[in-house]
Structure 1
Amino acid sequence: MNTPKVAEHIVKWLKDYAENAKVNGFVVGVSGGIDSAVTSSLCAKTGLPTLCIEMPIHQAESQVNRAKEHIAQLKERFSNVSEAQVNLTSTFEDFKTVVPKVDASAKLNLALANTRARLRMTTLYYFAGLHGLLVTGTGNKVEDFGVGFYTKYGDGGVDLSPIADLVKSEVFALASHLDVPESIQKAQPTDGLFGDSRTDEDQIGASYDELEWAMKMQDTGKSVDDFDGRQKEVYAIYTRLNTINQHKMVPIPVCEIPSDLK
């Protein structure tokens, strides 16, 4: 990948889109992870107003510190960058008190994890509405179009997605080119939605390097039976997630009414 040219291309694409949409700039949720750091850096390089928002919900201190370090660095480098912090922990806890009580289970934990992401999406759109900004997605290609590793109408609820055609290794290459803090580049990827130390690899069962490989194999028409050992295991993980998460990747189905019934 020609990293400098790719960065230049995305920055121009972002600026052109914002100017054509007649909006002021961008709002990005900054988590302390590599994807949001790269996305906010690219937005900052457009020269348009870029609002970075940190939205902790029972967040690990390490994640909060990385987010703060990145935002501080961006503000030093770019005069068009501003920040806000909205601690959504109390909002999340209030939500849990008004919904019906259910026994603790894996389904409950996942529902609450997705609720965190959706509270953050609502917050981003609040600021976008106030300041005339575009909510900028931070998902990469493996997450968005490979395994569907994001929350529908949470971190998937965005106006545009500047890095969604880049796999994770390419995002890391951009991070180095854009001088993203080393602490973020070295951190294990995590969605931070469960309030513990689990990583993306812990949840998915495969690393991003492995998932990138599986995505390439899918493009060549391979099946699970074409592999054995760890490759077979990884490809099975990838194809299962790719199948069950198609509802996130395809347009919302619309029931079309026959003209003779209208």
Structure 2
Amino acid sequence: MNSEKVSKHIVNWLKSYAEKAGVKGFVVGVSGGIDSAVTSTLCAETGLQTICVEMPIYQEASQVSRALEHIERLKEKYSNVSSVKTDLTNVFEVFQEAMPTSNSGALKDLTLANTRARIRMTSLYYIAGINSSLVAGTGNKVEDFGVGFYTKYGDGGVDVSPIADLVKSEVFALGAYLGVPNAIQKAAPTDGLFGDSRTDEDQLGASYDELEVAMKQDESGVKEDGLSGREKEVFKIFKRLNNANKHKMNPIPVCEVSDAIKA
């Protein structure tokens, strides 16, 4: 991949979109991961107002430190970059207290993890609203269109998706080109929604490199029967997640009511 050309293309696309929308710039939630680091840097490269938002909710210390290092580097390099920290831990706790009690175990844990993402989405839109800005999404192609590894109306609720046509390996290549901190480049990808050290691979059952291969195989019409070993196992994981998360990737179903039925 020609990282320089890709970077310039995305930056020009972002700038053009913002100017046509009549907004001042972008708001990006920065997590300490490669996707948000690359996205925020690309937004900064537009020269338009770029607000990096840190939104900890029982966040692991290493994730916080990586996010802070990246934000400070951006602010040193780009005069158009500013930052906001809004600790949402208390908001999350109040939300839990207001909800019915439940002992549903893993389902409750997953629901609360998604709740964190939705609280953050609401916060980003508030900050974007008062600053006449767009919320820039940080999802990559494998997450957004492959396995659906994001929260519906959480980190999936955005105005623009600058890196959603790049697979994870391409995002890492772009991060290296853009000078993203080494700590972020070397960190194992994680959504940070559970307040612990679990990685995306722990949750998905496969690495992004493996899932990229499976996604390309699926797009080219490869069938499970033609595979074996780990390759077959990962392909099955990809297909299972892809099918289970179609509701995120497809438009919301609308029940069409014809004139004949209304009559």
TM bucket, shorter chain: over 0.9
Relative to the length of structure 2, the TM-score reads 0.99
In the TM superposition, residue 255 of structure 1 has moved relative to its aligned partner by 1.5
In the TM superposition, residue 104 of structure 1 has moved relative to its aligned partner by 4.7
What are the ranges of 5 or more consecutive residues in structure 2 without an aligned counterpart?
none
Relative to the length of structure 1, the TM-score reads 0.99
Give, in whole Å, the separation in 2 of the partners of 1:149 and 1:186.
21
Query: 1:11 maps to what in 2?
Result: 11
Query: 2:150 maps to what in 1?
Result: 150
* 1:208 and 2:208 correspond: yes
Taking only the aligned residue pairs, the percentage that are identical comes to 67
* 1:106-127 CA-partner distances (Å, limit 9, x unpaired): 0000000000000000000000
Give, in whole Å, the separation in 1 of the partners of 2:259 and 2:13.
40
In the TM superposition, residue 54 of structure 1 has moved relative to its aligned partner by 0.2
What are the ranges of 5 or more consecutive residues in structure 1 without an aligned counterpart?
none
* 1:141-173 CA-partner distances (Å, limit 9, x unpaired): 000000000000000000010000000000000
In the alignment of these two chains, the number of paired residues is 262
Give, in whole Å, the separation in 2 of the partners of 1:132 and 1:226.
52
Q: For residue 37 of structure 1, give the secondary structure of its aligned residue in structure 2.
A: helix
* 1:228 and 2:220 correspond: no
Give, in whole Å, the separation in 1 of the partners of 2:219 and 2:91.
43
Give, in whole Å, the separation in 2 of the partners of 1:212 and 1:171.
12
Query: 1:185 maps to what in 2?
Result: 185
Give, in whole Å, the separation in 2 of the partners of 1:19 and 1:259.
41
Query: 2:126 maps to what in 1?
Result: 126
Query: 1:253 maps to what in 2?
Result: 253
Give, in whole Å, the separation in 1 of the partners of 2:60 and 2:244.
30
Give, in whole Å, the separation in 1 of the partners of 2:220 and 2:157.
30
Taking the TM superposition and a 5 Å limit, the aligned residue runs for 1:1-262 are 1-260=1-260, 261=262
* 1:55-98 CA-partner distances (Å, limit 9, x unpaired): 00000000000000000000000000000000001110111111
Give, in whole Å, the separation in 1 of the partners of 2:7 and 2:200.
25
* 1:24-82 CA-partner distances (Å, limit 9, x unpaired): 10000000000000000000000000000000000000000000000000000000000
Which amino acid is 2:234 matched to?
Answer: V
Which amino acid is 1:48 matched to?
Answer: L
Which amino acid is 1:53 matched to?
Answer: V
In the TM superposition, residue 222 of structure 1 has moved relative to its aligned partner by 1.2
What is the root-mean-square deviation in Å for CA atoms of aligned residues? 0.7
Which amino acid is 1:115 matched to?
Answer: T
Which amino acid is 1:18 matched to?
Answer: A
Which amino acid is 2:180 matched to?
Answer: V
Q: For residue 52 of structure 2, give the secondary structure of its aligned residue in structure 1.
A: strand
